[in-house]
Structure 1
């Protein structure tokens, strides 16, 4: 049984489900499917069951700690988790620790009583759009393990798709929650920068966001309620939101102004992606949204993104000595792009920042005319696992095939990916909904309106259906 978090909490309240039952189901799913997809690098069976029993006692006493008490949850192995190593997919980090501090979102999850199952896979230092590393291997797609789950939060996406916990928390510096959501038929939100505090600071600076990964928009909103609390360790953290992200979630889209850009003016999509996204936009129009097909009017900002991203990679590896000496110990693609990052000057970095600011200003003006921008999440379905780019790519860089995601890390806007269909080969297709900065609740509302009229998010991954038939 694959439960949604909101279903679990309702079941705990009326005693039709127990946290122990839900946690055992998640652990059973990990045992069943993790060998095929490699979603977890650490599973704490004993700790999870102990936490579930404590949660069960609180619910029976009518004293839950918070709205996530007892929800089985996983954490991407980028985020600090007290008592567990955070190795970031790298052999360069000493697993002995000490590991005595939680990242802000993990601290909030503990405070609400969530059951922490373990840590999910990531490429080394979350540097690319697929999930594989020399240390932990590759993460496969729940719909076809011979294809990639995407990245860099691929382990988290595979986990929620397969019922290995209802919630997961990932990070997104250029699409890293939305890319795997698009490839796996799950939901992920990159919130407005600073809404979910991030500590320690990312080497990728203010490109890096923390975001919820779930099977439904409602679950993403519920997780946002838990993890969006001010934390003084993050110098750029926003104040704790006053209300709940569940409030107004079902208000619909009637009268909202939707700008639909099929290609941002410079992207070529797989024809099946085009068709699925166009059909999704028609659903929003039928629900009462005022839809215009329009491009926001910016050129591909990939070079500016590369300067900022590759410089961050160089910073990551700077503490481990000369780059040449890391050959064989570090992902070759990370070494290649970090070597480019070393060549950038302060002037290059400031020029890239200027491009970023101009893009943010342009999108702010765009949202004076349109409440949300809708695009594909990705221009293609998942490709073979273990590759950084699809066969025939004109570039070795992962940004070549993720043109819809990284622009909105530059602008710090909220961007949501929801499933909107499948290819003929049975691989998921994602729809991206982008809002103005601080319009996270509106983005979730649009996503919920779409999910209330479709059932793509309720489809069961191939690995599950195959096991059920066996």
Structure 2
């Protein structure tokens, strides 16, 4: 049996369970011990319930002993971003404006995972209400980067990304309303996948509505596909959720990318990128060509959609104010307060126009993907910043507007030893092709594992 169960993928753990070479109890104890050791230094989890997790693990162990696992992920530890409800845990959303009352029902993702027999570990730290790309809040403190604790972990799924990187649960569920899975995945060196909108059902409805995607952060592409096999399901509480087609998302992962038509846009036509990041992304794209893809340097042909997002922020601001009231608003980060005040100044006519422009952008990308199977870009435009500053990832939010599947794929490290990633975008509903291309990248250059042997000897952040 491997000496460090925390460093194994979900796929490897399931294979051990099948061979009775390890048990869910052994794995859960190892992960919980690892969380206890590293939590003071990385502040990854908002809440963990070890007793409940071990009770789940014992039940799973009994099922595996009988050769009758409950579901696809029976006995695999999972963490949930603290924007998602998990029964028995409060949903604090990184904010003093929330209650510590435990939730009485699971979100759809948590429900599907509980049904599959997964071990629900607890809640990972998030930016306040998922508003910023930085997991640093008045409620929860700072969650630093997995590779260098003097640098930012990004957000808003920063806790989930750091947990995945450090082996604090092989499967992590995050959310992405403008890059919140992909940006922290990129700066922490893990795989982050934003499925097509509605692929994983959500409830309650998000403040940013149909920009909000739910998806995996993992250390391998196969693990992300395994997690998607469980959470890619409709739920009656979410009328926008997509029907399940019974697909196995791990199927054909290893079919490669030979013959695929891939558009490479270095800037989307309006951005600037740090030269070192650009060089690393150029190299990664050249590797795609070596794998048989047909690469064409081309921009997708749309203007910076930031004005659309700015106008739609009015809807998010109004929903948030409604939910927390003026008393709650007074407890928010001043930067978020200012952002809400600015957003609410948009007129109804401007919001309606933003929706029309969003529809036009979606049509533009649908036409674009009639010619190209995939679009690739950088994820970040600048190196990972120090604590207190959000990493810049301006390539991501357009594809929340268009609801397309997209992934952040680790491709190496800059001269400061901090991760860099490639952004892979597919046509709406073609999640399988994004996963396949991601797996091709991983096969060519396996993702690095975070060495943390000395992590817990440094002064806590």
**3-state SS, counterpart of residue 150 of structure 2:** strand
Structure 2: distance between partners of 1:340 and 1:211: 30
Structure 1: distance between partners of 2:367 and 2:420: 29
1:460 corresponds to 2:446: no
Look up the match of 1:38: 43
Q: What per-residue deviation string (whole Å, max 9, x for no partner) do you get for residues 189-226 of structure 1? A: 11101110010111111001111110111110010001
Out of 224, 249, 253, the residue aligned to residue 249 of structure 1 is 253
Out of 351, 354, 363, the residue aligned to residue 353 of structure 2 is 351
Look up the match of 2:318: 314
Matches within 5 A, 1:268-307: 268-307=272-311
Structure 2: distance between partners of 1:19 and 1:62: 13
Look up the match of 1:404: 395
Structure 2: distance between partners of 1:282 and 1:356: 32
Structure 2: distance between partners of 1:168 and 1:66: 18
Look up the match of 1:336: 338
Structure 1: distance between partners of 2:57 and 2:323: 40
When the two structures are superposed, what TM-score results if normalisation uses the length of structure 2?
0.96
Matches within 5 A, 1:225-244: 225-244=229-248
Look up the match of 1:67: 72
RMSD: 1.5
Structure 2: distance between partners of 1:105 and 1:428: 28
Look up the match of 1:91: 96
Matches within 5 A, 1:189-268: 189-268=193-272
How far off its partner does 1:454 sit? 0.2
How far off its partner does 1:465 sit? 5.7
How far off its partner does 1:29 sit? 1.7
Structure 2: distance between partners of 1:120 and 1:320: 22
Matches within 5 A, 1:88-127: 88-97=93-102, 99-127=103-131
Out of 400, 408, 420, the residue aligned to residue 417 of structure 1 is 408
How far off its partner does 1:387 sit? 2.7
1:466 and 1:79, CA in 2 relative to 1: closer, same or farther beyond 3 A? closer
Instruction: Name the stretch that deviates more: 44-53 or 313-322.
Output: 313-322
Are the aligned partners of 1:195 and 1:228 in contact in 2 as well (CA < 8 Å)? yes
Matches within 5 A, 1:136-215: 136-215=140-219
How far off its partner does 1:318 sit? 3.0
How far off its partner does 1:310 sit? 4.4
Look up the match of 1:56: 61
Look up the match of 1:24: 29
Look up the match of 1:433: 424
Q: What per-residue deviation string (whole Å, max 9, x for no partner) do you get for residues 147-196 of structure 1? A: 11110000000001000000010110000000000000001111101110
1:445 corresponds to 2:436: yes
Instruction: Name the stretch that deviates more: 368-377 or 339-348.
Output: 339-348
How far off its partner does 1:462 sit? 4.5
How far off its partner does 1:7 sit? 0.5
Structure 2: distance between partners of 1:345 and 1:415: 31
Runs of at least 5 residues in structure 1 that lack an aligned partner in the other structure = 390-400
Look up the match of 1:394: none
How far off its partner does 1:382 sit? 1.6
Are the aligned partners of 1:221 and 1:245 in contact in 2 as well (CA < 8 Å)? yes
1:11 corresponds to 2:16: yes
Are the aligned partners of 2:262 and 2:294 in contact in 1 as well (CA < 8 Å)? yes
Structure 2: distance between partners of 1:322 and 1:226: 39
How many residue pairs match? The answer is: 453
Structure 1: distance between partners of 2:190 and 2:386: 19
Runs of at least 5 residues in structure 2 that lack an aligned partner in the other structure = none
When the two structures are superposed, what TM-score results if normalisation uses the length of structure 1?
0.94
Structure 2: distance between partners of 1:353 and 1:413: 16
Matches within 5 A, 1:366-377: 366-377=368-379
Structure 1: distance between partners of 2:211 and 2:370: 24
Are the aligned partners of 2:152 and 2:390 in contact in 1 as well (CA < 8 Å)? no
Q: What per-residue deviation string (whole Å, max 9, x for no partner) do you get for residues 82-129 of structure 1? A: 1111111111122125x1110000000000000011100011111111
How far off its partner does 1:467 sit? 5.8
